[in-house]
Structure 1
Amino acid sequence: MTKRAVRIGNCSGFYGDRVAAAREMVEGGPIDVLTGDYLAELTMLILWKAQQKDPSAGYARTFLTQVEQVLGSCLDRGIKIVTNAGGLNPAGLAEKITELAGKLGLEPKIAYVTGDNIVDRLPELQSQGVDFANLDTGRPLAETDRTAISANAYLGAWGIAEALAAQADIVVCPRVTDASLVVGPAAWWHGWARDDYDALAGAVAAGHVIECGPQATGGNYSFLDEITDRRYPGFPIAEVAADGSSVITKHDGTGGLVSPGTVTAQLLYEIGAPEYLNPDVTAHFDTLNLTQDGEHRVLISGTRGSAPPPTLKVALNQLGGYRNTMTLVLTGLDVEAKAAYAEQLLFEVLGGREKFAEVDVNLLRFEHADAPRNVEATAHLRITVKDPDPRKVGRAFSNATMELALGGYAGFHTTTPPTPETAYGVYWPALIPAEHVTHTVVLPNSERRVIPHPHPTSPIQSLQHADSVTSAGREEPARDFGETRREPLGRVCAARSGDKGGNANVGLWTRTPAEFAWLRAHLTEAKFRELLPEADGLAVHRYELPNLNALNFVVVGLLGEGVASSTRPDPQAKGLGEYLRARTTDIPVALLG
C-alpha cells in the first residue's frame, strides 16, 4: 500500500531568518517533518569567524532557540526535525541539543551527518590529482596563494534517510545540498531506491522551492498586486507523494500567496542550466509542470530525473584580506565635479591609490534637479579599499576621509562615522570526485555508518531535444508581434535574481504563453546585454524553460569573487531582476492591455 504524502515544513531560509517560524509551523497545522536551511556561501565564512573566537562554535545558534520552543511538541506528535544548522560543527550542535533537551526533561534520539569538511585534506587531495579548478575561471587552486579557511563538499540525502530509518528524532547536518533536507525525509518515508531518479528529482524540485522559506509564499515577489493578503507570509510546506510529485502549500490562516507564479519564482532562484545537479540525482527543471491544485496549493508534477554526476560541488572560502568602505554624501549642483575633487583630495591625503591592493570608487546618483526635499538632492560617493595589511585600510583610511570635512567640497558629510577594517573572504567554487569524500552518519546509538555514493553516475545531459534548451548566444528568428510601445520590461514579466558565488542569475517569466512567445524572441543575449550594460565583457549564459514560460540568465563574474568580497552596493544581486524589469523596451501593444 502506497503511503500518503509526507508533509515537510520549512522554518528557516537563512541564518538570521524569522525565529518564530519553527513554533508557527509546528503549531499551525499538521506536518511530519520540520526542516530548516541556515547555510549559504557567506554563512560558512561567518561560522568560521565565530569558531575562531570559540572553537566549540561553528553552528547556527538561533536553531537552539527554535528547538527549545518546539522540541516537546515535536516529540509528542512524532514530528522529525532535519536541519543543516550544524554548519562547521554538526557534532557540537548535536551535543548542545542533548544538553538543552536534558534541561527540558526530554530525551530525543539525535543523529548527525559529517564528512563534508575537507579543508584539512586540501594538500593531500591536491597531491592525488584533485586540482579544485575554479568553476567560473578554470584556475586551479594551486595558482592562488590565499589561505583556504573552509572547504565543504555538498553532501546528498542518503545520510539523512539512514538516520531517520534508525529512528532518529533529530538529524543535524553540515553542508548538505539545500534540497537534501527534503529529499532525505521523502526517500525515507516512501522507501525509495537510489535509482528512483524521477521520484528523487521531484523531491529535489520541492526542496528547492521551500528551501528559502517565504520566498515561495509571496516573499520577494514581483507581481505585488497578486498578493491580496499582505500579512507576513506563512512559511512553505511540501507535501511529497510516493512518485515524487508534490503540492506546495502553507498553513491555513497565514499570510502571503502560493500560486504557480510564486513557485516559478523560487524554482528559478539561483539556478543555472535546467539540468539541476544534486549528489543523488540530476533533476531536469525543464520537464516539470505546475498546476493550481486549490487555494494556496500548487502541484509540481512530471519532473524527470537522471543519474547524478560523478563529482560533488565544493564551496571553498579563502581569507582575502581586509577592507573598509566610507560613503561621502554629495548635495546639489556639480555632483560629478565634487566627486572627482573628493577622490583627488582623499588619495592625496592617503599617499596615492597605489598604496592599496585594490580600490573601488563608485558614484551613486540619486539626486533630482530642483528637488523638493534636501535628501532628494543627494548622491553618494562610495569608496572601498582592500589590502592584506589591516592597518592600511583601518582607521588610517576612514579617518583620512574626515580631513575633507573642512578642506574639501561644499556640503561634505558622510553616511557613517569613521569605521575600522573588516576581514573579507573570497569564494572559490570547485568540484571533487565523489569517491574522495566520506559521507558519514553518526546514529543515535553512536554507531558510525559510511554512506556509499550513488552509482552509476552520468555526464550532464538534457532530457529534452537540444533545440528546446537555449544556452549562451542563440538568437531567435525575427517575428512580427505588431505595433509596439516603449514600456518597462516588467509590464510583461516578473523576475527573481540572486547570487551563486561570483555569478548572478536572473530568472524572468510571464503569466501567459503569448507573453512568453514574445519574451523568448525579444530577450536574446544581445538584448539582455543592452538592458544590463554591467554585463559588458562578461560571459552571459541564456537558458529556456518553456514549461515555466521562463528564461534564465547567468552573468559570470558580475559579483566578483563572491558576496563577502564584492564591492557592489547589492553584492548578492537581489535587486538585479527588479532593475531589469524597470528598463524600457519595445513591447507589443497587444500584450499591454
Structure 2
Amino acid sequence: MTPAAGAVRIGNCSGFYGDRLAAMREMLSGGELDFLTGDYLAELTMLILARDRAKNPGLGYAKTFLRQLEDCLGIALDRGVKIVANAGGLNPAALATAVRELADRLGLTVNVAHVEGDDLVGRAEELGFGNVLAANAYLGAWGIVDCLNAGADIVVTGRVTDASVIVGPAAAHHGWSRTDYDALAGAVAAGHIIECGTQATGGNFSFFTEIPATDGVFRPGFPLAEIAADGSSIITKHAGTGGLVSPDTVTAQLLYEITGARYANPDVTLRMDSISLSPDGPDRVRVDGVRGEAPPPTLKVSLNSIGGFRNATSFVLTGLDIEAKAELLQRQLESSLTKRPAELEWTLARTDHPDADTEEAASALLHCAVRDPDPATVGRQFSSAAVELALASYPGFTSTAPPGEGQVYGVFTPGYVDAGLVPHIAVHADGNRVDIPAATETLVLAPADEPPSPPPPADGPTVRAPLGRVAGARSGDKGGSANVGVWVRTDPQWQWLAHTLTVDKLRELLPETAELEVTRYVLPNLRALNFVIDGILGKGVAYQARFDPQAKGLGEWLRSRCLDIPERLL
C-alpha cells in the first residue's frame, strides 16, 4: 500500500545489541524506505560497552553495526536510504571513524556524522553521581536533525533516547520546530513502537498463537513507520514478511517500559493517554490524536558502576521431603563458610510434581546466590563449600553445574541533571562542531490526573479462569523496577479489568510484589492498565536479583493467574 502523500518512511532494523544481523539487509532490500534506524543500547548494554572501553579506549561501541554495514552500505547508498543509529554507545566518534574506514575499504563515498556530549563520566563527581564506570545522559533528536540537514548519509550517536533515532529523521524531513509538540509527540509514539524491532510485529506477543506462521516458521519482519507532517503515523512492515501488525501488537509495544500518562523525552513529553489506534488495512495500524507537552527541565542519566563479585549455583532436589532436603543443604553450606558473603540468597523453586513420570518432573531447584566486594569470598571459598557436600548431604545430591570463580557484577542507578548542564554536539563529516542548545520551554514532569473510571460491570455468572483468557500483557525492566502493562480488546472487558485489577489484586496474584511499592496507571484509550513495581529487580539487570532478572516473563506470569471472570467476557 502506498504511504500517505508527504509521509516519511522510517524502518528499524535493531531492537538491542545482538538482534538479527540479517535485519539491515532485509529492511533495505524488502521495500521502500527513506531512513533506516537501529537501537543498540540498553541499561545492561551500557555496562558491557563501558567494560569494553576500560580494556581498550578505542572501543565502547556496538561492533555488530559495522558488520551489518560491511554487507549493506552499498545497498543503502544505491537506494538513497539514510541510516541513523545509537550504535556509538560510549564512543560515537570512534564508530564514525570506523564507518569511514569501512567505506574507504569498500570504495564507497559516504558522509558520516555523529552526535556526542552525553558522556558525563568525567564530571560524575562534580554532578553528584559519585564514582561510576559510566554516566550517560539521554539526549534528544536535534543533534541528529542538524547532522541530517547538513547532508549526512549516516548518523551515529551515543546515548540518545530510544525514540530519538526515529524522531530525528521525521523532524528533519518535515522541518518541524522545537515547539511543534504534538507532531514531535506523534513521532515519539511511532519511535517507541518500532524501536524494539519485532516486538511491534508479533514478537513476544501474548496472543502469538493467533499469528500464522510463514512456511511453518514464525519469523516476524521488522517494523516501519510512515510518519506524516502532523505527527500521525501508520505502523506497518514490508510486504511478504512474517509476523503481524495489529492494534494489539502495537498496544503491547506502547505499554513496554513506560510509567503513566506522561512519557518524558528530552524534546517533548508524550501524553500516552491521547493515543488513538485504528486498523488501516492488513498489517497497517494508524496512530493519531497524539498530544505533546513541553519537555521536562532535566535529563535522565544512566549510571553504571561495579557492585562487586557474585557467584551462584543450583542444586537439584528430587522426590520426597523437598523442603527438608533444602533446609539440610542450606544449614550445611552456610556453616561451611569461614567468611559469610555480604549477601547470601536462597530460592527454592518448587518445579516438582507428585508421582511424576520423569525424574526431571519429580525435581525442584534450590538456587543459591552470593555477592561480596571480595572475589575470594564468593569464589573459591563458596565453590569449595558447595562441591565438598557432594557425598555428605541430602539423598540424590546433584547440581545443574558446579559453581566457578566469582564474576564481576554491575549496578545500574538512574540519575537526573539539569539539561542546560549537558553538552549536545552535532559533529559533521568535515569536523564542524555545532552546539545544540537545551530546550528553553520546559514543564516539570508531574503525574497526570486520574481519568474517570468506566461504569462498573454488570453482575452475572463467573468462571474461575486465567487472566490471560481475556487480557494481554507486556513487561520489562526499568533499572531496579519493572512495569507490567495489561490490556483487553473490548469495552465490556475494559469495564471489568479497570474495576477488578487493582493494586491489591495485583499483589494477591503476584505474591512476590506484596511488600513492594506498586503504582497503577490507567490508559483508557488503550483499554490498558500499567503497573510499576519498585525494587523487584534489586539494583538492576546485571545485579540478577531474581529468576527473571529483566522481568520479561512477569506479564505472562500474571496472565497465568486465575481469578473470577464473567462468563460473558470469555
Look up the match of 1:136: none
Question: 1:461-516, CA deviations, whole angstroms, 9 ceiling, x for partnerless residues?
Answer: 57x7x34178xxxxx98654311111111111000000000111000000111101
Q: Distance in 1 between matches of 2:68 and 2:306?
A: 31
Look up the match of 1:584: 562
Equivalent residue for 1:272, pick from 242, 247, 259? 259
Look up the match of 2:345: 360
Look up the match of 2:172: 188
Q: Which deviates more, 477-486 or 173-182?
A: 477-486
Alignment map for 1:127-146 (pairs within 5 Å) = 141=129
Q: Which deviates more, 258-267 or 412-421?
A: 412-421
Matched, 1:392 2:377: yes
Look up the match of 1:369: 354
The 3-state SS of whatever aligns with 1:257 is coil
Output the amino acid matched with 1:23.
R
Equivalent residue for 2:451, pick from 453, 456, 468? 468
Look up the match of 1:348: 335
Look up the match of 1:535: 513
> Does the CA contact (< 8 Å) of 2:476 and 2:484 recur in 1?
yes
**TM-score of the two chains, using structure 2 as the length reference:** 0.97
Look up the match of 1:304: 291
Matched, 1:178 2:162: yes
Matched, 1:564 2:551: no
Look up the match of 1:99: 101
Equivalent residue for 1:426, pick from 394, 411, 417? 411
Equivalent residue for 2:181, pick from 176, 197, 200? 197
Q: Distance in 1 between matches of 2:121 and 2:173?
A: 34
**TM-score of the two chains, using structure 1 as the length reference:** 0.93
The 3-state SS of whatever aligns with 1:516 is helix
> Does the CA contact (< 8 Å) of 2:456 and 2:496 recur in 1?
no
The 3-state SS of whatever aligns with 2:348 is strand
- The verdict on how the C-alpha distance between 1:359 and 1:288 changes in structure 2, with shifts beyond 3 A counting, is same
Tell me by how many angstroms 1:460 deviates. Answer: 2.4
Tell me by how many angstroms 1:441 deviates. Answer: 0.9
Q: Distance in 2 between matches of 1:312 and 1:327?
A: 41
Look up the match of 1:150: 134
Matched, 1:167 2:151: yes
Look up the match of 1:138: none
Look up the match of 2:244: 257
Tell me by how many angstroms 1:124 deviates. Answer: 2.2
Alignment map for 1:56-71 (pairs within 5 Å) = 56-71=58-73
Look up the match of 1:411: 396
Question: 1:265-284, CA deviations, whole angstroms, 9 ceiling, x for partnerless residues?
Answer: 00000000120000000000
Tell me by how many angstroms 1:310 deviates. Answer: 0.4
Question: 1:516-558, CA deviations, whole angstroms, 9 ceiling, x for partnerless residues?
Answer: 1100010111111111111122111101111001000000111
Tell me by how many angstroms 1:76 deviates. Answer: 1.3
Q: Distance in 2 between matches of 1:194 and 1:527?
A: 43
Q: Distance in 1 between matches of 2:297 and 2:459?
A: 45
Equivalent residue for 2:474, pick from 492, 496, 503? 496
Q: Which deviates more, 117-126 or 357-366?
A: 117-126
Q: Distance in 1 between matches of 2:292 and 2:427?
A: 29
Tell me by how many angstroms 1:423 deviates. Answer: 0.8
Output the amino acid matched with 1:488.
P
Q: Distance in 2 between matches of 1:469 and 1:313?
A: 31
Look up the match of 2:43: 41
Alignment map for 1:514-533 (pairs within 5 Å) = 514-533=492-511
- The verdict on how the C-alpha distance between 1:96 and 1:469 changes in structure 2, with shifts beyond 3 A counting, is farther
Tell me by how many angstroms 1:341 deviates. Answer: 0.7
Q: Which deviates more, 49-58 or 208-217?
A: 49-58
Q: Which deviates more, 96-105 or 477-486?
A: 477-486
> Does the CA contact (< 8 Å) of 2:15 and 2:195 recur in 1?
yes
Question: 1:185-222, CA deviations, whole angstroms, 9 ceiling, x for partnerless residues?
Answer: 00000000100000000000000000110000000000
Tell me by how many angstroms 1:231 deviates. Answer: 2.5
Identity %: 58
Q: Distance in 2 between matches of 1:481 and 1:70?
A: 59
Q: Distance in 2 between matches of 1:480 and 1:197?
A: 40
Alignment map for 1:544-563 (pairs within 5 Å) = 544-563=522-541
Q: Distance in 1 between matches of 2:126 and 2:5?
A: 46
The 3-state SS of whatever aligns with 1:185 is helix
Equivalent residue for 2:57, pick from 30, 55, 58? 55
Q: Distance in 2 between matches of 1:576 and 1:300?
A: 27
Look up the match of 1:453: 438
Question: 1:357-409, CA deviations, whole angstroms, 9 ceiling, x for partnerless residues?
Answer: 11111111111111111111111111000000111111321232111111111
Q: Distance in 2 between matches of 1:240 and 1:410?
A: 64
> Does the CA contact (< 8 Å) of 1:481 and 1:518 recur in 2?
no
Q: Which deviates more, 389-398 or 255-264?
A: 389-398
> Does the CA contact (< 8 Å) of 1:395 and 1:418 recur in 2?
no
Output the amino acid matched with 1:115.
G
Q: Distance in 2 between matches of 1:521 and 1:44?
A: 40
Look up the match of 2:112: 110
> Does the CA contact (< 8 Å) of 1:115 and 1:440 recur in 2?
yes
Output the amino acid matched with 1:362.
T
Tell me by how many angstroms 1:453 deviates. Answer: 1.2
Equivalent residue for 1:486, pick from 459, 464, 467? 464
Matched, 1:322 2:309: yes
Output the amino acid matched with 1:15.
Y
- Runs of 4+ in structure 1 off by over 6 angstroms are none
Output the amino acid matched with 2:20.
R
Output the amino acid matched with 1:82.
V
Tell me by how many angstroms 1:104 deviates. Answer: 0.4
Q: Distance in 2 between matches of 1:541 and 1:15?
A: 30
5+ unaligned residues in a row in structure 1: which ranges? Answer: 127-140, 471-475
> Does the CA contact (< 8 Å) of 1:469 and 1:545 recur in 2?
no
Output the amino acid matched with 2:106.
L
Q: Distance in 2 between matches of 1:444 and 1:469?
A: 52
Q: Distance in 2 between matches of 1:59 and 1:420?
A: 28
